[in-house]
Amino acid sequence: MKAREVKRVKLAEKYAAKRAALKADGNYVALSLLPRNSNPIRQRNRCKITGRPRGYMRQFGISRITFREMASQGLIPGVRKASW
């Protein structure tokens, strides 16, 4: 799934100018003929380490589970697990 996501990012970058031009012209027929994965809406935020799509923390770029594990080990600067 991570490789598929990388492919979507590359396609979106490749067709960005063409897609913007067709959208500005209002040519939705030609727009629909472009590859589906070239649409940036189809991209999904994924954890950089595990590739998990759910529970993504945008500030760190990792999932909540990975974040918790790394915070417990002290691998994330400025983050400390609370205990009282």
Domain boundary assignment for the chain: 1-44, 45-84
Cβ(47)–Cβ(37) under 8 Å? no
**Architecture category of domain 45-84 in CATH:** Irregular (4.10)
Note the pLDDT of residue 50: 94
Report d(CA 23, CA 65) in Å as an integer.
Answer: 39
How confident is the prediction along the chain (84 residues), in pLDDT tens digits per residue? 889 999 999 999 999 999 999 999 999 999 999 999 999 999 999 999 999 999 999 999 999 999 999 999 999 999 987 777
Task: Name the 3-class secondary structure at 53.
Answer: coil
Note the pLDDT of residue 75: 94
State the Cα angle at 19 between 15 and 22, rounded to 5°.
Answer: 145
Note the helical H segments in the chain: 2-25, 28-32, 64-73
